Amino acid sequence: MSITTIISLAFLAFVVITILKGVRIVPQGYKWIVQRLGKYHTTLNPGLSIIIPYIDEVAYRVTTKDIVLDIPSQEVITKDNAVLLMNAVAYINLTTPEKAVYGIENFNWAIQNLVQTSLRSIVGEMDLDDALSSRDHIKAKLKLAISEDISDWGITLKTVEIQDIQPSATMQTAMEEQAAAERQRRAAVTKADGEKQAAILEADGRLEASRRDAQAQVVLAEASQKSIELVTSAVGEKDAPVAYLLGEQYIKAMQDMAKSNNSKTVVLPADVLNTIRGIMGKN
């Protein structure tokens, strides 16, 4: 092979390599950061782009897709000194890739630390009950606290979610004991209320029975009064109406005793004849 051929092949290879280094095809979902002689020059968008070979260099290949950052679990102390284990997940997007690569050394690690620090600060101002029941509130404050800081790096925080809020083992034991005590207290209150209502109903029943008994006595007394008045008008003033009524009740009582299944002996007064005569108005 002659020297001319070798030189031609070498030149051809150089041309091919130069063309390959100057032509860049950026895939969809990415942006490439180009440096010219070590300094930021431009950002290549998806598609075909031309750069100057050997002078321009693709230094960073940055995704434009949303990035999911898992925030490790950490211990957080609430305002009332309760210990919680919390972890989160953040969704970010690199809206300005050149700021993300030149503005911060490692934006993933930086955002993780920002989320953890802000989470401790936010929960530290809340009581245990509020921290356990206010995920949306914590999420809103966390997003507000982080978004402004990371915007200087050309990063947008899409959302941040609190994955889990779990009390520590000691706190779980204390909460279980507290819940058991609360259930016992409620059971005691319910039992006491039930006994109170039963006593009230029983007392109301006795009161109503007494009232009805009193009304019945009044009715009986009024009936007796009317009976005495009727007998008085019938027998006249010369005979005692009360004696008449007593005799009538006496005979009725004796009849009831005679009809009873348990009665074996009927007791009659010695002066029954005189009694009957008195009742009939005869001497």
Angle 169-235/241-259 helices, nearest 10 degrees? 120
Rounded to whole angstroms, the Cα distance separating 97 from 62 reads 7
Whether 233 is covered by a domain: the verdict is no
Cβ–Cβ < 8 Å for 146, 114: yes
pLDDT tens-place string over residues 211-245: 888 887 877 777 776 766 666 666 555 455 556 55
- 162 and 71 in a single domain? The answer is yes
Residue 152 in tokens: 């200087």
Looking at the DSSP assignment, which residues form a beta bridge with residue 165?
86
Q: What is the dihedral of CA 101, 103, 107, 112, to 10 degrees?
A: -170
Are both 179 and 200 inside the same structural domain?
Answer: yes
Q: Are residues 55 and 75 in the same domain?
A: no
The predicted-structure confidence for 153-198, as pLDDT tens digits, reads as follows: 989 999 898 888 887 667 667 666 777 777 788 888 888 888 888 8
Name residue, tokens 């009715």.
Answer: 219
Strand partners for 160: 90
Residues 71 and 123 in one domain: yes
In this prediction the pTM is: 0.57
- Is 129 within 8 Å of 75 (Cβ atoms)? no
| Cβ neighbours of residue 73 closer than 8 Å, sequence gap 6 or more | 85, 86, 87, 164
For residue 99, tell me if it sits in a domain.
Answer: yes
